[in-house]
Each structure stands twice: as C-alpha cells, then as structure tokens.
Structure 1
Amino acid sequence: MTDQPVWQPSASREHLKSRAQQLAWVRGFFAERGVLEVETPVLGRHGVTDINLDGIAAAVNAAGVSGGWLQTSPEYHMKRLLAAGSGCIYQIARVFRNGERGSRHNPEFSLLEWYRVGLDDTAMMAEVADLVCGWLGCDRPDVLTYREAQQTLAGIDPMAITDHDLYQYCQQWLEPEQLAGMGRDDCLDLVMSFKVEPLLGRGRPVFITRYPASQAALARVVSDDDGYPVAHRFELYIDGLELCNGYWELTDPVEQRARFEQDNRRRKAAGKPEMAVDQSFLAALDAGLPECSGVALGLDRLLMLKTGAERIEGVLAFPVERA
C-alpha cells in the first residue's frame, strides 16, 4: 500500500494572510522612500563561488545556453542593474539553496534584497531597523561587535585566540578527526552556531557588526579592531534567529576577482566543485558599481517571528516535502 500524498498546505490561512500583509508592508515601505522594485532571473547562467552555499543546477538548452543555476540570491543581477544606473532598488525574490532543510530552512524560500546608493553600513542598519521593527512592533536593536559577542557569550577572543586553542575549544562539539579538515573560520562558525547565536536578540534585537576580514564575503574591508582588520558587514538577530546579512558593498573589481579565486581554492580544498565565475558581474564592476550598501533579509523567518511559528513550514504553503 502506497502512502497517500499530502496535498494540503502546511501554513494556516491566518499565516497565509499575514504573508500577504507582510508583502504589502514591504512594498509600501520602499514606495515611501522612492526605492524601485525590480525583478531579475530566478534561473541564471552562473552559480556562486561562496563555499557556504550550494546551488541547484538546472538542465537548460536554449539559444546556445547549456546548463544554468537556480539563484541563491539576486545579488549579481541586481548589482548589474546598479552599475547600469538603476539607482536604489529592491526585490522580493524566490531563491534556492541545496541541502538546506530544517526548522529554519527550506531549499526554496523568499528573500528580500535591497541596495541603497550612497549609504554606508551604519545608515543601512538604521533602515533595516525601521523596516523590521516597524513590522514586528518591537524595540530597536542594540549593537554588538562580532568580537564582543564571542567574548561575552562564548568566553573567547575570536581575533586573538590561537588556532590550537580554538580547535581545542571546538572539541566540545566535534571529534579531533572531524576538526582536522576545518579552517579557522569554520571553527569560529561553530562557536557562533552553538554558543553565541542561540543567545542573541533575547528580549531585544541585536546587530552583530565588524566581522573578521576573512569573513567579509562581498563587503569592503577598511577598518580595524585593535589592529585586526574587520569587514563592514552586519547581521540582525531576534530571539536567536538570524534575519539578515548586510554589507557596505565591495566595489573594487580587482579585489572581487581575488576573492572569487580564493573561494574556489577553498572549495577545492573542501572537496567541493569549483564554480565558474560570473564574468558579466565582473564586467559590471569594471564599468563601475556606485557606492552603496545592500541587505538580504529572509522574509519567511521574519514571518515566523510575526506569527509565532516555531518551524518554517508553519509559514509556507508548500515546503519541499509537499511541493
């Protein structure tokens, strides 16, 4: 006897209604600020090199294009629009990340991404707080540096701790042979995941800022913390839930190429396939990306906070198991 398919949605009608209200709120928020809504491809010719993201390949054969990727983020296409003179833009996008399924993850999810020309990361954090706290009706966030958060909640200094001591610290979660192939940033991510993040934003939202330069991703690195280089990157946490990742965007095409090459070296060392670099994106950087900041915010997670849903399927009509 075969199992009967589950055809019903996993989200209640009330939660579906709250999603519709959320979308209206977001669009009204940006309309008041004169930020243009755009759409970019869900299916692109390139994936991303980021070692922490696994894309979903697509079988495409059209107009001389063979193969493609469901996008993990609309970032590269949106930056091409910025370089073409779009001005401030936002997008409500469906994005895809392979292997991600859990209480807070679904392989397909809704992402709000926006870029503000002329704003640095500090000004962008204020706008994130306006949007999120306005929608949730909560207090505005505190601010902690990455270093302060780990010192206070994990009892280590992530900038100064030796690799040996960091590996020793992480043996409370993984065996030495499991740690053997992990780099310093992998271990710091473990500390964040197990010790720090669950305690962040309890009672009041909090921004984590000034990440180590090695975790800059696509953010610029122009500051230092007691002699240690740090990135102009921030994340927002509420009740232990990470909501967004924001950058004062890197605009240097030479540095961006170097980071892509470094990503692929790390992917190769980790046994992951190297990814072809998006040359159209790099050409846009060569043409000139305006000074800007950008944020990617998970709308499903924001809706979980609004509705009190404990698992992401509580706010999705059809999670991957029912799709």
Structure 2
Amino acid sequence: MQQWQPSASIEALRGRAAVIDRIRQFFAARDVLEVDTPALSVAAVSDPQLFPFATAFVPDGGGEPVWRYLHTSPEYPMKRLLAAGSGPIWQLCKVFRNGESGGRHNPEFSMLEWYRPGFDHHRLMDEVDELVGGILACVPARRVGYAALFAEVLELDIHCCSEEELARQGRERCGFVGELSRDGWLELLFSHCIEPSLIEPTLVYAFPASQAALAMIVEHDDAVPSAARFELFVQGMELANGYLELTDPDEQSRRFSADIQQRKEAGKAVLPVDELLVQALRAGMPSCAGVALGVDRLVMLALGAERIDQVIAFGFDRA
C-alpha cells in the first residue's frame, strides 16, 4: 500500500461513521446539548502522566509569542460551560497527547466526553453501559470495586498490605526493576496483571482516594474512603474514565499544586494552571458526573479491528 493512501479501509470508515451517528442519536434522544470548545488553551492539563503539545501564537506583524496548548481533553472548558448554566452537555472532538503512539494509541485521537448535572457516578455508569452496550451489542458490564479486583485476581488486600509487599509483587509479576510510589506499584500491577483479564465488559469503581484526579472522595463505595471514579474495560482495553466531579475550588487549587509538585519531583516541565476553571468553580458548578470515552477504541471493538490505525483515516505515520 502506498504511503498516500488511508490507513483505514473505506469500509471501516463507513462503519466508523455509523458508530458516530449512533452516538449522536443517543444524546439527541436524551436532550443533551452538543457543544464545541477550543482545542487550544492558555493552560495545560494538570495530570502529571500526560504530556500536551505546545505551540506558539505569533501576532501578525511581530510581537512576543504567546504559548498555547493543544488540549488532552475538553474537560476544563466544558466545566466552565456547566458553571455558566449549560445543563447536560456532550462533545466529540479531537484531542492530543504527546508521546502516545502504538496499536491502541495515536497522538491525535477522538474523544467523546459528556457531563450530567444531578447524576452521581453510579447513575452515569448506567448510561455509559447503555451507550456502549447498544453499539457493541454486548452483555451489561460487570461492576466491581478496585480493591475487590486485587483480592480476586492477585489475592492482595490493598487496604492492609505494605508498600514493600506491593513492590515485591510488582517486581516478581511484572519484571520491573526501578522504584515507584505506592500508587505507582498499584497502577503497574493493575495495568499488567488485572487489566488484560477484563475481557467481558467490566466497570471498575472505588479507586484509591490517592488516585482521585478530579473526582470527589466518598465514604460509601468501599471499606475506606475512595475516589468516586470508574473505568470501563472491554476486551482487556480501557474504554472510558468517569468521575463524580470535584466542585470545591479550594480543593481543586490544592490538587493543581500537588500535580505541580509531582511534576517537579519527576523532573518534568511545570505547566500553566487553568485558573479560569478555578474561577468557574468559585462561581458555582452544579453537582454532576462526567466521563470521557475513547471513540477510536470503541470503533475498534465494534468493527473487530486489531489496531487503532485501522479505524482512523490516516494514522500518525501517514498524517
């Protein structure tokens, strides 16, 4: 096949269009507003594990360049819309993550993100299951707690075991020779030993509170306080990540500061914080649940594709 040709077949692109049409119908039937937010932002994502693309805006006629970042998710501006009174919203857009390329990753990919004021994470799990089940014609997802999966698959009680025990398990099971934090060992064991076993649709919830990201902490999902967060896995592949969203502006600022400190300790570049999001939270964002879903991966599952470049018109090596 010549380099100018698409990486996906025309048949696959028709199948992709059909999936996107199903998504649009799903939200139209529920009266959820479709929105479109900027791909370029003055602030970057706070997550220390993500690396955004940066670009400089140079004013016509000269002047100092102004740095902007291609979004890794439309989360922050969508939350500003919620604070402005938008009601339930959804968006399907291109997002960009530097350094991510492979069979399941493309540096530019399509993300579906939606927010439901008045929903908690359990009610949003119902809706995610309904959308994905309708598109994939699969059984309803099993729901299981994060700690329960460690006990089931690895016979580990993560509430009681020491960091030394997690490190020993990580080295023995995954062959990792470096040093990690407690969360680092948990994430390594989950991704290498648990995630591949989640073949049937599985919604995992009650993540450790230390892995809350932008989710609230709740008391009732596990034996200890946990993050009101869930992830959906199908065929051993992560498909969606959802939260009962954090609405406290002071806690949001604290987590931004913690992310900055984590970046510094890891020797990574410190990126600008989205103060506009904090301002929106201070103005008052409604209690809501939100989720991001990888559309390319959903299409892969729907069409039985093995690689992400088989379901996008031009993969990274042909863009």
Q: Give the TM interval when normalised to the shorter protein.
A: over 0.9
What CA RMSD, in Å, does the superposition of the two structures yield over aligned residues? 1.5
Select which of 7, 10, 13 maps to 1:10: 7
What's the CA shift for 1:61? 2.7
Listed as ranges, the matches of 1:25-174 within 5 Å are 25-62=22-59, 66-172=66-172, 173-174=174-175
- Residue 242 (structure 2) aligns with: 246
Q: Deviations over 1:46-104 (max 9, x none)?
A: 11121111111112134987010000000000000000000000000100000001111
What's the CA shift for 1:228? 2.4
Over the matched positions of the two proteins, sequence identity in percent amounts to 48
Q: Secondary structure at the match of 2:229?
A: strand
- Residue 258 (structure 1) aligns with: 254
Q: Secondary structure at the match of 1:228?
A: coil
Select which of 265, 269, 273 maps to 1:273: 269
TM-score by length of 2: 0.95
Structure 1's unaligned 5+ residue stretches are none
Q: What is the CA–CA distance in structure 2 between the aligned matches of 1:82 and 1:212, rounded to whole Å?
A: 27
Does the CA contact (< 8 Å) of 1:49 and 1:274 recur in 2?
A: no
Sort the Cα spacing of 1:240 and 1:175 in 2 relative to 1 into closer, same or farther, 3 A.
closer
Select which of 289, 308, 311 maps to 2:304: 308
One-letter code aligned to 1:307: L
What's the CA shift for 1:158? 2.2
One-letter code aligned to 1:46: A
TM-score by length of 1: 0.94
- Residue 229 (structure 2) aligns with: 233
What's the CA shift for 1:8? 0.6
Structure 2's unaligned 5+ residue stretches are none
What's the CA shift for 1:171? 1.1
Q: Secondary structure at the match of 1:76?
A: helix
Does the CA contact (< 8 Å) of 1:159 and 1:212 recur in 2?
A: no
Sort the Cα spacing of 1:62 and 1:124 in 2 relative to 1 into closer, same or farther, 3 A.
farther
Does the CA contact (< 8 Å) of 2:206 and 2:222 recur in 1?
A: no
Does the CA contact (< 8 Å) of 2:54 and 2:67 recur in 1?
A: yes
What's the CA shift for 1:30? 0.3
One-letter code aligned to 1:167: A
What's the CA shift for 1:221? 0.2
Q: What is the CA–CA distance in structure 2 between the aligned matches of 1:66 and 1:5, rounded to whole Å?
A: 39
Q: Which aligned runs of 4 or more in structure 1 are off by greater than 2 angstroms?
A: 61-65, 172-176, 224-228
Q: Deviations over 1:98-124 (max 9, x none)?
A: 000111100000000000110001110
What's the CA shift for 1:227? 4.8
Q: What is the CA–CA distance in structure 1 between the aligned matches of 2:158 and 2:5, rounded to whole Å?
A: 47
